[in-house]
Chains A and B, each alone.
Chain A
Amino acid sequence: MASVTITNVWKYYGKTVAVKDLNITCNDGEFVSVLGPSGCGKSSTLRMLAGLEHISAGDIHFGDTRVNDLEPKDRDIAMVFENYALYPHKTVYENMANPLRLRNESEETIKKRIAFAAEMLEIEHLLQRKPMELSGGQKQRTAIGRAIVREPKLFLFDEPIAHLDAKLRARMRGELKIMQRRLGTTMIYVTHDQLEAMSMADRIAVMNNGVLQQFGTPQEIYNHPVNEWVAGFVGEPPMNFIDCDLIEEGGSFYAVHSAFKVAVPSDQAVKLRGALKSSGVRMGIRPDQLAISLGQDGAAKGSIKITEPLGGDTLVDVDLKGANHVLVKTDADFRGQMNDPCSLNFDTSRWHFFSKETGVAYF
């Protein structure tokens, strides 16, 4: 087991920059998720950690060892690939035995370790099958099994459950988390699914366009996104963004939009002072931080565009005056109809303001 330190790492493919000046420190035994859309450099990062790609610039350390020039086999890592990468001509048992065989473990040890991993992953009955005879979830378990039979310093998971169906994915999320806690091995988990990152990781590194946007606990990422991009990427349904003006009246700040004028709490006003001079701010608020009512007595007035009952709760798309579509998450017993007038109240303690030009969060 080891900590992982990524220092000023760059990755170029020809002239294309895939990873830009990345710095991440991952503690021993920590579960770190690298989150971002496709093409954000998260897989390149993982492959550099695995040694499958050269590091263009910068250093990667496992513990105190600089691994830049180590071959994958000498890094003592285990990796699970997005498409499982099982050996199609070998049985599940042989697939899992492979990393141990390559390290000249005795047959007895191999048997013991596989039995342990198979029991943990509940694939004991599949050991003699070949990958072709397995379902997606079983292949996935085999791939994970191949990673955990050894006791590597570091687990690298590259979107391992992206291709499973939704129900199985939900189950695997829990199981992977339990497995990582049980083994206590440092894990770096790449995913584009913010739900996976939020639900499993100790800390999340959010990347976009090769740049690390924010590195923090799921709560920090969710509650205090550093910029508009992170705010919009994390959270489902996504955060609403409303362009508004910021004005000062009688010592208080107000966020003003054609549909509403809401006072900014005084503790937030301090942080917003710098924004007064700019041409406007972008307010961000999550769908569950908005309260909808059918009357016209709320802070912002609009009409219902569409309602989407989801069973447990209802999503309402509200047309605010001034052409903003705002998504609101409300109770299942909400009875609004299309085109009904409605009004919204903001949970002002939890909203966010971003700079319109740079996207950086004021708070």
Chain B
Amino acid sequence: MASRDVVVYKTPLSRIWNIFTVVFIAFYLLWTLLPLMIMFFSSFKDLLAAFQLPPVGAFSKIGLFFDFTPTTKHYYNLFVNLGFTTYFFNSIVAAGGSAIISVVLGSMCAYALSRYDFRGKPDLFFWIISTRMAPVVAVLVPLYAIFRGADLIGTKAGLILAFTTFNLPFAIWILKGFFDNVPYAIEEASMVDGSTRFQAFRAILPLVAPGIGAFVILCILFAWNDFLFSSIIGSGGAKTLPPATVELVQPQNIQWGSIMAAGVVTTLPMMFLGLLIRRYLVTGLTMGAVRE
């Protein structure tokens, strides 16, 4: 196999470009991480400390940001007084449930679309992805009416179903690409070895694991971050973290400390999840596109 290194020859221009790249990345990191950092520290400060700001331009006073006595009272408030334990649990159930359902149904459907030829397949395929083309807002009202009729408003099952309607087409679309890249011969070998079509499908699942991993992450992210579905369909019995956080903004009192803590609580699990399947995510999102 040939070396995969890209051969680059240094020119004065490339040196300037390199410096520019580093500067750009530094600014970008600052831009991305600073708000997260402020959120993280503020969640441990009491309100007075949180609003202690150095004068504009006084960089020597930057230490003021870190000059506080850490307190966990906002977290305590969140989980004990404001019922965030339930919301957190709701978020996990809704995101996880829809991810699992989407991945199970989606991989089976994607496999079928990848392997079988039937009349109208391109149309069916386009129809599946076209359900994702309309913005959520456009379908929300009819969806609400349907869910209302089915008595699914404010239930976790309803929320899972709502997320699944949006995640499933996406799952099929992504996973079909992965199945297309798995040689037929492997499942044929499996069938000749004595497995049924379904066992053969299961035998090649490990080969699309990167795709499934990537999809699960995207699916959970969508459900976790979603505000519209959760506030309208999940309102009441199945409130998730984002609408619960919004409720902390009250006309007479914006509970900044609790909002910051809720932000941390919402962000951290996704960060860990990202780290956990980072490897899959990278190979997953590129593998579908590259023929080996």
**Known pairs A89-B206, A89-B207, A102-B199; A83 contacts B185 (CB<8 A):** yes
Q: Are the C-beta atoms of B194 and A52 separated by less than 8 Å?
A: no
Which listed residue (B183, B185, B193, B206) contacts A102, Cβ 8 A?
A: B193
- CB-defined contacts of A89 to chain B, threshold 8 Å: 206-207
In the assembled complex, A98 has its CB within 8 A of some CB on chain B: yes
**Known pairs A71-B196, A102-B194; A81 contacts B189 (CB<8 A):** yes
B residues 66-105 in Cβ contact with A at 8 Å:
none
B147 to chain A minimum Cβ distance, whole angstroms, is: 41
Which one of A72-80, A170-178, A274-282, A335-343 is at the B interface?
A: A72-80
- CB-defined contacts of B25 to chain A, threshold 8 Å: none
In the assembled complex, A141 has its CB within 8 A of some CB on chain B: no
In the assembled complex, A99 has its CB within 8 A of some CB on chain B: yes
- CB-defined contacts of A99 to chain B, threshold 8 Å: 193-194
Which listed residue (A79, A82, A88, A103) contacts B192, Cβ 8 A?
A: A79
In the assembled complex, B203 has its CB within 8 A of some CB on chain A: yes
Q: How large is the interface on B (under 10, 10 to 19, 20 to 34, 35 or more residues)?
A: 10 to 19
- CB-defined contacts of B188 to chain A, threshold 8 Å: 50, 52, 72, 79, 81, 85
A30 to B195, CA, bound (A): 27
Q: How large is the interface on A (under 10, 10 to 19, 20 to 34, 35 or more residues)?
A: 20 to 34
* Total A-B contacts with CB atoms under 8 angstroms apart: 60
B2 to chain A minimum Cβ distance, whole angstroms, is: 17
- CB-defined contacts of A82 to chain B, threshold 8 Å: 185
In the assembled complex, B266 has its CB within 8 A of some CB on chain A: no
A71 to B189, CA, bound (A): 13
Q: Are the C-beta atoms of B193 and A98 separated by less than 8 Å?
A: yes
A50, closest chain B residue (CB):
B192
In the assembled complex, A146 has its CB within 8 A of some CB on chain B: yes
- CB-defined contacts of A83 to chain B, threshold 8 Å: 183, 185
A residues 38-72 in Cβ contact with B at 8 Å:
50-52, 71-72
- CB-defined contacts of A86 to chain B, threshold 8 Å: 186, 189
Q: Are the C-beta atoms of B203 and A87 separated by less than 8 Å?
A: yes
A38 to chain B minimum Cβ distance, whole angstroms, is: 17
Q: Mark B168-210, 1 if CB is under 8 A from A, else 0.
A: 0000000000000001011011111111100100010011000
A89 to B192, CA, bound (A): 19
Residue of A82, A89, A156 with most chain B CB atoms under a 10 A cut-off: A89
Binding site for B on A (CB under 8 A): 50-52, 71-73, 77-79, 81-89, 98-99, 102-103, 146, 156
Binding site for A on B (CB under 8 A): 183, 185-186, 188-196, 199, 203, 206-207
Closest 8 CB pairs of A and B: A85-B185, A99-B193, A102-B194, A85-B189, A72-B191, A79-B192, A73-B194, A89-B206
